[in-house]
Amino acid sequence: MFSSSAVRAYLHLHFLVLIWGFTAIVGLLVSISPVALVLYRTLFAAIGLGVIIVIKQKSFKAPSVDLLRLFGVGFVLSAHWMLFFASARVSTASVCLAGMATTSLWTSLIEPLVNKRSVRPLEVGLGILAFAGLYVVFKFEFDHALGLGLALCSAVLAAVFTVANSKFVQRIDAYTITFYEMIGATFFSLFFLIISEWQHWTNEVPFIPAGKDWIWILFLALICTVYASTMAVQLMKYFSAYLINLTINLEPVYGIALAFFFFGEKERMTQEFYLGTLLILLAVLLYPVLVNTALGGKKPETN
């Protein structure tokens, strides 16, 4: 049986995934380039986290070696977000989110390497099941090869980011982790923005926000990052990186549901959507039950 605190933590995780399900929609609502969007998002997130750390009287201290690693993970996070938003721009939100569903599959391969344990067939199998569900939902459009490729690269980086944080959270406060990662992400985004503008990679898409852009940027920075990302890191104390990323497979489902709510009839869902959703839910909900059964109630390895 699962404790009430474990159930609350699991529901909290799903609420965070619901918030993230809105990010692809926001990425299509703003007028600036994906690189600029990530720069503003991470800059304001770093400022917001710094204020929270001061108010909560938490520590900014972290071992010097860990600081460099946190900045490095920030680079990875920045690249992950840039690829994510770029994928949605060059294809569709559905193709982008479907590609991101492979994150749990990559995690099932990366986490064992980091934690020096064998790959669990159960994790790989459920990752494939979740991916199959998204295949049914979105019926991959292979003519959007570039968008799908960018999303797959983004998914690999998301797996690396999550596994790395599952190690940091064992010894560093979640707010401190996210603060330094946002600083690293800000510098990487700024550097990449300068290069992209110099090389004209953004096709003259503006990098200065206008009008409602600021509202969506602040939403991404304060709600999707300061709140959601920090809480997700905190939840890594209770769940493995694999379970977190497997649950994130629901992000496309929540994202499409939110798109239907905001954009109406043009986002009408098909029967395939519900079949695919069932497969994804099955993979997500079966994982804690099967692992609990296989390990005889023992907590899965997380470090």
Most confident of 80-84, 109-113, 227-231: 80-84
265: confidence class by pLDDT, cuts 50, 70, 90? low
Percent residues over pLDDT 90 in the chain: 24
pLDDT value for 2? 56
302: confidence class by pLDDT, cuts 50, 70, 90? very low
Taking the whole predicted model, whether its pTM rises above 0.85 is answered as no
Tokens 């001061």 identify what position? 54
Looking at per-residue pLDDT, the higher value among 157 and 106 belongs to 157
Residue 266 predicted with pLDDT over 60: no
Q: Three-state SS string across the chain, please?
A: CCCHHHHHHHHHHHHHHHHHCCHHHHHHHCCCCHHHHHHHHHHHHHHHHHHHHHHCCCCCCCCHHHHHHHHHHHHHHHHHHHHHHHHHHHCCHHHHHHHHCCHHHHHHHHHHHHHCCCCCHHHHHHHHHHHHHHHHHHCCCHHHHHHHHHHHHHHHHHHHHHHHHHHHCCCCCHHHHHHHHHHHHHHHHHHHHHHHHHCCCCCCCCCCCCCCHHHHHHHHHHHHHHHHHHHHHHHCCCCCHHHHHHHHHHHHHHHHHHHHHHHHHHHCCCHHHHHHHHHHHHHHHHHHHHHHHHCCCCCCCCC
pLDDT, tens only, 274-293: 787 778 778 776 776 676 67
What distance in Å separates the CA atoms of residue 39 and residue 37, rounded to the nearest whole number?
5
pLDDT, tens only, 117-142: 777 788 778 878 877 877 777 665 56
What are the b/e assignments for 61-84, b being 16+ CB within 10 Å? ebeeebbebbbebbbbbbbbbbbb
pLDDT value for 157? 95
Looking at per-residue pLDDT, the higher value among 83 and 148 belongs to 83
pLDDT, tens only, 90-121: 877 777 877 887 787 788 788 888 877 777 78
Tokens 């190690």 identify what position? 167
Q: Mean pLDDT across the stretch 38-61?
A: 92
